[in-house]
Amino acid sequence: MIEQLEKPFSEDDSLAVLNRYVRDWFSRNFEELTPPQRFSFKLISQGSNTLITAPTGSGKTMSGFLSIISRLFDYSLEGRLEERVYCVYISPLRSLNNDIFRNLTRPLDEIYGEIVKEKGVEVIKNNIQKVSIGVRTGDTTQQERRQQLAHPPNILVTTPESLAIMINSKRFVEHLKGMEFVLIDELHELAGNKRGVHLSLSIERLEEMIGRPVTRIGLGATLYPLDEAARFLVGTKDGRERDCKMVDASWQKKLDVTASSPVKDLIYTDGDAIEESLYKRIDSTIRANRTTLVFTNTRSGTERVIFNLKKRFGYGEEIAAHHSSLSRESRMEVEDLLKKGSLKCAVTSTSLELGVDIGSIDEVIQLGSPKSVTRAIQRIGRAGHSYKETAKGLVIALDRDDLVECAVMLDAARKRHLDSFSVPKNALDVLAQHIIGMSLTQKWDVDKAFEVVRRAYPYNTLDRHDFNALIEYLAGNYVGLESRRVYGKIWYDEKERTFGKRGALAQAIYMLNLGTIPDEVAVGVFKDKKWVGNIEEEFLARLKPGDIFTLGGRLYRFEYSKGMKCYVGDAKTSEPTIPPWYSEQLPLSFELANEIGEFRSRLSAALGKERGRAKRGGANDKAFALLDDMPVDANAKAAIRDYFTEQLSYAGVVPDNRLMLVEETQDLEKGTTLLVFHSLYGRRVNDALSRAFAIEIGETLDADVGMVVSDNGFVLDLGENALTKRQLEAAMDGLASANIATMLRHNIRKTEMMKRRFRHVAARGFMILRNYKGYKISVGKQQLNSQLLLKAVEEMDQNFPILKETYREILNDVLDLPRAQEVLAMIRKKEIRYRFIRTDVPSPFSHKMITFGHADVIMMKSRHQYLQRLHKSVMEQIGG
Partner 1 sequence: MILNDEVELVEGEPIAYIRPLKALVMADLHLGYEAAMAKRGMLLPHANLKSILSSIENASSVREVTTLIVNGDIKNDFSTVGQAESNELYDFCSRANALGMGLVLIKGNHDNFIERYREAFRFEVHRQEARIGDFLFFHGEEMPGSLGKLMVMGHEHPAIGIYDAAGRLEKLKCFLYGRYKGGNLLVLPAMNYFSSGTAVNIEPKGSLLSPLLRNAGVESMEAIALGYGSTLAFGKVRELRRIAAARHAGRRG
Closest distance to partner 1 from the beta carbon of 186 (Å) = 33
Residue choice 669, 702, 739, 742 for contact with partner 1 (CB under 8 A): 669
Cβ pair 37, 62 in contact under 8 A: yes
Ranges within 737-756 binding partner 1 (CB under 8 A): 751-752
Q: In terms of Cα–Cα distance, which of 593, 217, 576 is closest to 405?
A: 593
Q: Is residue 738 exposed (0-12), middle (13-18) or buried (19+ Cβ within 10 Å)?
A: middle
Query: Cα separation of 819 and 682, whole Å?
Result: 10
Residue choice 542, 611, 613, 658 for contact with partner 1 (CB under 8 A): 542
Q: Is residue 775 exposed (0-12), middle (13-18) or buried (19+ Cβ within 10 Å)?
A: exposed
Residues whose CB is less than 8 angstroms from the CB of residue 566 and which lie 6 or more positions away in sequence, other chains included? 523, 524, 525, 526, 535, 540, 543, 558
Binding mask 480-499 for partner 1 (x = CB under 8 A): x-xx--xx------------
Residue choice 113, 225, 546, 880 for contact with partner 1 (CB under 8 A): 546
**Kind and range of the H or E run holding 431:** helix 428-441
Name the packing angle between helices 400-414 and 373-380 (round to 10°). 70
Residue choice 124, 288, 479, 522 for contact with partner 1 (CB under 8 A): 479
Q: Is residue 509 exposed (0-12), middle (13-18) or buried (19+ Cβ within 10 Å)?
A: middle
Closest distance to partner 1 from the beta carbon of 846 (Å) = 16
**768 binds partner 1, rule: CB under 8 A:** yes
Nearer to partner 1, 531 or 624 (CB): 531
Nearer to partner 1, 101 or 487 (CB): 487
Residues whose CB is less than 8 angstroms from the CB of residue 582 and which lie 6 or more positions away in sequence, other chains included? 539, 542, 854
**562 binds partner 1, rule: CB under 8 A:** yes
Binding mask 192-231 for partner 1 (x = CB under 8 A): ----------------------------------------
Nearer to partner 1, 132 or 806 (CB): 806
Q: What DSSP letter does each residue of 237-260 carry, written as one string?
A: ETTEEPPEEEEE-TT-SEEEEEEE
Query: Cα separation of 338 and 320, whole Å?
Result: 10
Judge if the upstream peptide bond of residue 818 is cis by omega within 30 degrees of 0: no
**799 binds partner 1, rule: CB under 8 A:** no
Nearer to partner 1, 249 or 525 (CB): 525
Binding mask 705-744 for partner 1 (x = CB under 8 A): -x--------------------------------------
Ranges within 495-524 binding partner 1 (CB under 8 A): 509
Q: In angstroms, what CA-CA distances link 269 with 49, 195, 391, 398, 410? A: 56, 45, 32, 11, 25
**Kind and range of the H or E run holding 156:** strand 155-158
Pairing verdict, β 706-710 and 713-719: antiparallel
For 360, list phi and psi in degrees, rounded to 5.
-100, 130
Cβ pair 833, 680 in contact under 8 A: no
**788 binds partner 1, rule: CB under 8 A:** yes
Residues whose CB is less than 8 angstroms from the CB of residue 393 and which lie 6 or more positions away in sequence, other chains included? 255, 256, 257, 258, 363, 364, 365, 366, 376, 379, 380, 383, 410
Residue choice 9, 86, 459, 478 for contact with partner 1 (CB under 8 A): 478
Query: Cα separation of 188 and 798, whole Å?
Result: 34
Q: In terms of Cα–Cα distance, which of 689, 651, 633, 703 is closest to 845?
A: 651
**771 binds partner 1, rule: CB under 8 A:** yes
**431 binds partner 1, rule: CB under 8 A:** no
Residue choice 143, 574, 742, 783 for contact with partner 1 (CB under 8 A): 783
Residue choice 668, 784, 814, 878 for contact with partner 1 (CB under 8 A): 784
Nearer to partner 1, 337 or 767 (CB): 767
Closest distance to partner 1 from the beta carbon of 205 (Å) = 24
Taking CB under 8 A as the binding criterion, the range among 433-441, 442-450, 781-789, 813-821 that sits at the site for partner 1 is 781-789
Closest distance to partner 1 from the beta carbon of 667 (Å) = 9
Beta strands in 652-742 (DSSP E): 659-666, 673-678, 706-710, 713-719
Nearer to partner 1, 458 or 488 (CB): 488
Closest distance to partner 1 from the beta carbon of 345 (Å) = 34
DSSP 8-state assignment for residue 277? H
Closest distance to partner 1 from the beta carbon of 358 (Å) = 39
**782 binds partner 1, rule: CB under 8 A:** yes
**Which amino acid, residue 5?**
L
Residue choice 66, 767, 855, 874 for contact with partner 1 (CB under 8 A): 767
Cβ pair 271, 861 in contact under 8 A: yes
Closest distance to partner 1 from the beta carbon of 769 (Å) = 3
Nearer to partner 1, 307 or 560 (CB): 560
Taking CB under 8 A as the binding criterion, the range among 112-120, 135-143, 303-311, 790-798 that sits at the site for partner 1 is 790-798
Query: Cα separation of 124 and 416, whole Å?
Result: 53
Residue choice 792, 799, 840, 865 for contact with partner 1 (CB under 8 A): 792
**577 binds partner 1, rule: CB under 8 A:** yes
**769 binds partner 1, rule: CB under 8 A:** yes
Q: Is residue 154 exposed (0-12), middle (13-18) or buried (19+ Cβ within 10 Å)?
A: buried
**575 binds partner 1, rule: CB under 8 A:** yes
**169 binds partner 1, rule: CB under 8 A:** no
Taking CB under 8 A as the binding criterion, the range among 229-237, 473-481, 741-749, 817-825 that sits at the site for partner 1 is 473-481
Residue choice 10, 342, 787, 877 for contact with partner 1 (CB under 8 A): 787
Name the packing angle between helices 446-455 and 194-210 (round to 10°). 120
Taking CB under 8 A as the binding criterion, the range among 289-297, 539-547, 590-598, 835-843 that sits at the site for partner 1 is 539-547
Q: How many residues contact partner 1, by CB under 8 A?
A: 48
Query: Cα separation of 743 and 735, whole Å?
Result: 10
Nearer to partner 1, 388 or 746 (CB): 746
Closest distance to partner 1 from the beta carbon of 734 (Å) = 24
Cβ pair 396, 366 in contact under 8 A: yes
Closest distance to partner 1 from the beta carbon of 160 (Å) = 24
Q: What DSSP letter does each residue of 819-840 carry, written as one string?
A: HHHHHHHHHHTTSSEEEEEE-S
Nearer to partner 1, 782 or 799 (CB): 782
**545 binds partner 1, rule: CB under 8 A:** yes
Nearer to partner 1, 476 or 655 (CB): 476
- Where does this chain bind partner 1 (CB under 8 A)? 478-480, 482-483, 486-487, 509, 542, 544-547, 559-560, 562, 567, 575, 577, 669-670, 704, 706, 751-752, 767-773, 775, 777, 779, 782-785, 787-789, 791-793, 795-796, 862
